[in-house]
Amino acid sequence: MDYSWNFDIISRSWDLLLLGLANSVYLTAASFVLGLPLGLALALARLSRRKALSGLAGWYVDFFRATPSLVQLYWFYFALPQILNVQIEPGTAALLTLTLLSSAFVAEIFRGGIASLDKGQWDGARAIGMSYAQAMRRVILPQAIKRMIPIFLERAIELFKTSTIASVISFPELLFAAQDLAARSYRSLEVYSVVALIFMVTLISLSQITRRLELRLARSGETTTS
Amino acid sequence: MQYALQLAGVLAIGALETVKIAVMALAISLPVGLIVGAGRYSRTRYFRWPAAAFVETFRNIPVLVSIMWFFFAFPMLVPFEISAYAAAVLALSLNTSAFFAEIFRAGIQSISPGQWDGARALGMSYRDQMRRIILPQAIRRMVPAFTNRWIELCKLTALASTISYQELMYTTKMIANAYYNPVEMYSVCGLIYLAIIYPMVRATYRLERRAAKETA
């Protein structure tokens, strides 16, 4: 093997990679946060006794589970602007896609978390005269959310990986920055290796934080691991 | 009408390529995942550490990044060409193997120690305990997790379009660009994926319910 490694391009352009990483983090965080209330609304709709409402929410979740996120992204970037007759920026299309995708997954976590609580919690809340909304807000959700935190973080990590698809519509996140650098410098081996390493280190750190949090929650009596 | 038929034919070829990548990656990931998973459960650290490194590496690098790496970076290290198909299958297989290994490990760990003790009390060797007592029970529990990962794999195949492999996503993009009909093409493409993957999602729900009933 006679390839001679040369990391000059990395040391000269690390600021571009850092900006890319910042954009990746922004895209993930923003779509995850926006997906939370949407996901909760979907979960409540799915748990609703009205068949039409829960059916519709179920379809929404299944749709996002059963189609590749890349198709969704292309649809929002290329098809939606034609239907609405407006311009959609790459950043907006990516944010929209990832938010809706995230809400579908978050909805399932909320639903599982709410359903996992003992029925006695509902009965108790009702017995002291709370309405459905009050019981949900004051008794059920606070307990359910604590159990769900580690699963939410796992989902956020998955979302971070999925956010790399934004590169295909030229949103300047980390992978796009890498493609740009590699094309300009002809140093694809160095650039892609370093970027893969950055992703790996970032995601492993996030998983470690999640694991530690999980252990602490388990110790405080809110078991998420069995 | 003839135009619609021609489009359907081209899309069908694309869909076939999508299935081809997914099945190929699955065929590689199952044995690799099982071996790595068993390695993570090994008592010798010379198996355990490399297996852990493999899992952490390929689980934490986004698939699109490793597709790019195998297609644009890897060829500089090796004296042979890497086709888009090979790069996509390689990246998808390594990612899926890492997840399979974790499922496999968790499945074995979920079996109560009493099962091991019981098998040993009957005089079985480690291999027999694993093959006759632990694995048959563990694999039953792992089925829903495996099918979930298989669904993920099917969806991830669309990423092969980014290195111009002519599967369903790429074919759709080419047609949409040539005929300026993104609304129709991307909608139809989504529906084709839905038609392939949705039945599997339903099947997984059924498997999960059955598994929940068994452990309850």
Query: Domains in chain B and their CATH numbers?
Result: 2-215 (1.10.3720.10)
Query: CB–CB of A18/A174 below 8 Å?
Result: no
Can you give the pLDDT at residue A146?
83
* CB within 8 Å: B60 and A203: yes
Confidence of residue A1 (pLDDT cuts 50, 70, 90): low
DSSP assignments along B27-49, one per residue: HHHHHHHHHHHHHHT-SSHHHHH
CA nearest neighbour of B149 among B89, B81, B84, B204: B204
Q: Which of A64, A28, A61 has its CA nearest to residue A46?
A: A61
- Record: contact B194-A67, CB cut-off 8 A: yes
B200, B154 in Cβ contact below 8 A?
A: yes
Res. A225: pLDDT tops 80:
no
**CB atoms B198 and A66 under 8 Å:** yes
Structure tokens at A111: 């639903």
Identify the pLDDT of residue A117.
85
For residue B20, the tally of other CB atoms under 10 A from its CB is: 14
Residue B209 has what pLDDT? 87
Do A70 and B157 lie within an 8 Å CB cutoff? Answer: no
Which of B161, B182, B200 is nearest residue A79 as measured by Cβ atoms?
Answer: B182
Alpha carbon separation from B199 to A60, A72, A103, B163 (Å, rounded): 15, 19, 22, 28
The Cα–Cα gap between B125 and B138 comes to 18
Find where tokens 């590689």 sit.
B28
Inform me whether the pLDDT recorded for B1 exceeds 80.
no
Cα–Cα distances in angstroms (integers) from residue B214 to residues A64, B145, B210, in the given order = 29, 15, 6
- The mean pLDDT value of chain A amounts to 92
pLDDT at B91: 98
Place of tokens 């970037």: A77
Q: DSSP letter for A143, please.
A: H
pLDDT tens digit sequence for A181-224: 999 998 999 999 999 999 999 999 999 999 898 888 877 765 54
Distance CA A188, CA A10 (A): 11
Residue numbers of A between 59 and 88 with CB closer than 8 Å to B: 62-63, 65-72, 74-75, 78-79, 82-83
**What pLDDT, in 10s, does the model give residues A113-136?**
888 888 899 899 989 999 988 998
- Whether the Cβ atoms of residue A97 and residue A76 lie closer than 8 Å to each other: yes
pLDDT band at B157 (very low <50, low <70, confident <90, very high): very high
For residue B151, what is the nearest residue in chain A, using CA coordinates? A66
Average pLDDT over residues B142-164: 95
How many residues are there in chain B? 216
Is the CB of A102 inside 8 Å of chain B's CB atoms? no
Does the structure show a pLDDT above 60 at A226?
no
DSSP B180: T
Span A7-11, average pLDDT = 87
Number of other residues whose CB lies within 10 A of the CB of residue A224: 17
Can you tell me the ipTM of this complex?
A: 0.91
Domains of chain A and any CATH numbers = 9-219 (1.10.3720.10)
Alpha helices in B123-181 (DSSP H): 126-128, 135-156, 168-179
Phi, psi of A92 (to 5 degrees): -65, -45
- Reported as a single tens digit per residue, the pLDDT across B56-86 is 999 999 999 999 999 999 999 999 999 999 9
- The per-residue pLDDT of chain B, averaged, comes to 93
Residue B178 confidence (pLDDT): 93
Distance CA(A169)–CA(A176), nearest Å, equals 9
- How far off is chain A from B115, nearest CA to CA, in Å? 18
